[in-house]
Chains A and B, each alone.
Chain A
Amino acid sequence: MEKDTMIAVRGVSKRYRIGQINSTTLQRELQSWWARKRGKEDPNRKIGSKGTYGDLFYALQDIDLTVHAGEAVGIIGANGAGKSTLLKLISRITAPTTGTIDIAGRVTTMLEVGTGFDGELTGRENIYFNGTLLGMRKEEIDEKIEDIIEFSGLREFIDTPVKRYSSGMYMKLGFSVTANLNSEIIIVDEVLAVGDNDFQNKCIRYMKEASSLQGRTVLCVSHNMQQIRKLCTRCIVLDQGRIVFDGDPEEAIRIYLHQQVREETTIDYSDIARPSWLKEQPLFLHSAHFAEERSSFFHDEKIRLVLDCSAAADIQGVSLRIEVRDPFDEPTGTFILYDLADLRKDERREITVEYPLREFSDGTYITVYNFFVRDELGSNLNIENVPGLSFQVRRKRTAGELDWDHRNWGKIALQGAEVISVRDRTERPEEGK
């Protein structure tokens, strides 16, 4: 390793098994084994997964990465590209399948702020617990406790059990413990997605200082391109477990956003990773395609979208959101279709929906298909979430219509405004007098 190399990742791959749910009950394992023995379908295999029992899936493949002291490296990529897996490998939460990783320094992992806080314990007690959990010695904490309390701005509540803290206070305390660690490497995963603006800015400022002034190394995953721009001096784009770009953040962001635009008219979802927040997945979307078999439309057309899905359980009132975004990942608008269908367990359905384009201005749009159901209280419970098909819209212009000014007018060509009447209110001298 060179002198200022802080992280050296060499030929690292991470493999998971599809279909095999590794932690299992003995009963399930016997069940699966018996089914395979008789040549039947494994009852414990995830429905819809194409792979058979024991098929391998690479979350990361042949990753080589060298990070030097003082660098702030951003990691971007679509869901399932392997960003979090990479962070978890470097922070030793899970082990690689092949390759080696060398780390020259203490690592602070901020996959979450305030990990291990216990509601029953007071702020001060939690500082000790959390600090030692993150590798500090007790004497070190004794020395720094005043700084930590000061930094958190929670002095008057420090001897109150943290279960009485607001979520904002909780995060402030967690962050101030982490911020006072003397680690050479800081690893952050979407921490900045939580908390208010002030808190986010504080985090960014802190990490910016850590890398540029103190020469520490920062590695961060974010979906927020603005944060990547503000913080990172270098950026990596991951795609399906491989590094496809490594270098200037602006260029990386351009490549990433370009990746998001798909020109296909059909997507097979069998092997596409779902976002990690998707806890339950009773509904599985196998594929989606445009009935017209093209991705370019005029604004007076409608898109007919065909969705092929199956259910692993009875689901009442399956609803769908088609979330539309511009190529910079800014939300444009959303179509919501309530109660499309009721699905029974093991049923497979082809659902066709249609949506109009008359309000879209010229341009390319990316989409997310999000299936959901509503619980008794009417709140939203997401059951499936995948990147959708992109489409281009061209407005047919009649003679004399203006070119759309995206910068000032936005993305939506609002429709429906009408002239009701035009009355003459001019004051004129009365005629005939």
Chain B
Amino acid sequence: MNEKQDPRHVHIDAKPDLLDLHLGDVWRYRDFVVSYTQSYFLKRYKQTILGPLWLLINPLINALMNLFVFGVIAGIGTNGIPRLLFYLSGHGIWNFLAAIITSCSVTFSANAYLFGKVWFPRLSIPIANTLIATVEYAIQLIPFLLCALYFALTGTFSIRWGGLLLSFGLLLWLAALGLGVGVIVSSATAKYRDLSLLVSLFVRFWMYATPVVYPLSEVPQGLAYTLVLLNPVTPVMECFRYLLFGVGEVSVGMIAYSLILTVLILFGGLYCFNRIERSFMDTV
């Protein structure tokens, strides 16, 4: 039998090629990824009163809170962008990343039972979580679009509608980064469970180190500025604002730095995940 050519042939070796990320397996299980995503939404909004409406209400409340705290009380400027639009877009983008990281970080603990009973490419779970976050982002975009439309019609401010389309490319970039960080965190929490308590803290800290509730231009030069610049999400955020609103501080160097870091984090994460995944079932 020609083992190499038969796609159904499986070879398990105690000394595996760890660089083989088994992406082919994930591709074969693509219908599972879709099915997982579907059942997530089916489950989530059964037995809720407002259903997916929550996805519209949440960002609005959040944006209003940010507007009050950072805009009204702290008086941080927004580069001339209407505040509501500024906070809505920032929150939407950040939420996309945070949702990927937090949901991926519990891959092992939340699915330990399933992992112990049946084999399927484990990576399909974080990928499905990324897909879920993407769908939620698309829904969250609705209040933003409505506000943008309002500002455009009243003639106060117009976003660049073409830039909006281009900004979807940034999602891919951010998704790769989130997936990478998510699988690294999930691998670490599979080994040390108490690290999972730090995840939300870490995500919150990261948010404040990212120009989400403030534009990069408002950051004073010095240590804080360097810190924010080292953050690989900063260029994504600024690119996004540049595409949508035409203002933002971003350079080719910053983009290249962030892209390279993203690729490193993604592949490093997949590598860790692959290692942990092989022996995870022996540790629970």
Contacts and interface: CB of A to CB of B under 8 A. Distances in A.
Are chains A and B native binding partners rather than an unrelated pairing? yes
Interface of A: 1-3, 5, 12, 16, 21-27, 29, 88-89, 91-107, 109, 111-112, 115-116, 118, 120-121, 125, 128-129, 132-138, 184
22 contacts: A22-B279, A22-B282, A25-B193, A94-B279, A94-B281, A95-B12, A95-B14, A95-B278, A96-B12, A104-B1, A104-B9, A106-B8, A111-B116, A111-B118, A115-B118, A118-B39, A118-B43, A128-B35, A128-B38, A129-B35, A133-B35, A184-B8
A26 B8 contact: no
Among B11, B28, B119, chain A packs the most CB atoms within 10 A around the CB of B119
B270 to A, nearest CB: 17
B267 interface: no
B10 A103 contact: yes
B13 interface: yes
Contacts of A92: 10, 12, 119
Interface residues of B, number: 43
Contact of A107 (B13, B119, B279): B119
A120 B8 CA distance: 33
A29 B192 CA distance: 9
B194 interface: yes
A126 B6 CA distance: 30
B117 A109 contact: yes
Contacts of B14: 12, 95-100
A218 B43 CA distance: 35
Given A1-B1, A92-B10, A95-B14, A120 B28 contact: no
A23 B284 contact: yes
A116 B118 contact: yes
Contact of B3 (A24, A102, A116): A102
Among B118, B191, B192, B284, chain A packs the most CB atoms within 10 A around the CB of B118
Closest 6 CB pairs of A and B: A22-B283, A23-B283, A132-B32, A92-B119, A101-B12, A25-B194
Contact of A109 (B9, B10, B118): B118
B190 A95 contact: no
Contacts of B35: 128-129, 132-133, 138
Nearest to B11: A102
A98 B116 CA distance: 20
B16 interface: yes
Contacts of B31: 132, 136-138
A109 B114 CA distance: 12
A153 B9 CA distance: 34
Interface string B189-201: 0111111000000
A371 B105 CA distance: 39
B24 to A, nearest CB: 13
Contacts of A22: 191, 279, 282-283
A121 B12 contact: no
Given A23-B283, A100-B14, A116-B117, 15 more contacts: A89-B12, A92-B12, A93-B116, A94-B281, A95-B278, A101-B10, A102-B11, A103-B9, A103-B11, A111-B118, A116-B118, A120-B42, A128-B38, A132-B32, A132-B35
Contacts of A128: 35, 38
Contact of B6 (A104, A111, A135, A136): A104
Contacts of B190: 23
B193 A24 contact: yes
A120 B192 CA distance: 31
B36 interface: yes
Contacts of B1: 1-3, 5, 104
